[in-house]
Amino acid sequence: MWSWVLHRITGVATFFFLFVHVLDTALVRVNPETYDSVIETYKNPVVGLMELGLVAMVLYHALNGLRVMLVDFWSKGPQYQRVMLWTVLAIWFVVMIPAAGRIFYNMFAGH
């Protein structure tokens, strides 16, 4: 049940990110100086944490989407759905460690 709720939340959140991303990227055609100033406001730790959350959400949504497809279209999917959920969470955790490291590096050391 919670995986279903989290899948919906991550899907909606990703949609809203894409909506904002399209809007701020469209600024480059309207006024490049405004675009540059908007992008400059993104270079702070709060937005870095939001980026980390975005990566976490997209990764979970993608991995869980594969699990949902297997449950729906594989004859043994319902039988193994719990094992697949734990597998999704394990893969998510393993991939998030280097992703978080890279994002934190960009936030504090890189530029």
User: In CATH, what number is assigned to the domain containing residue 44?
Assistant: 1.20.1300.10
For position 46, what pLDDT does the model report?
A: 92
Asked if 85 and 67 touch (Cβ cutoff 8 Å), the reply is yes
Residue span of the structural domain in which 66 resides = 1-110
Is position 61 annotated in a ligand binding site?
A: yes
Per-residue CA distances from 2 to 7, 42, 81, 103 (Å): 8, 32, 13, 27
Task: Quickly state the pLDDT bin for 1 (edges 50, 70, 90).
Answer: confident
Q: What is the pLDDT of residues 78-111, one digit of tens each?
A: 999 999 999 999 999 999 999 999 999 988 886 6
Spatial separation of the C-alpha atoms in residues 110 and 83, rounded to whole Å:
39
Name the domain count of the chain: 1
Spatial separation of the C-alpha atoms in residues 72 and 105, rounded to whole Å:
39
Q: What is the pTM of this model?
A: 0.87
Non-local (6+) Cβ contacts of 9 within 8 A are 57
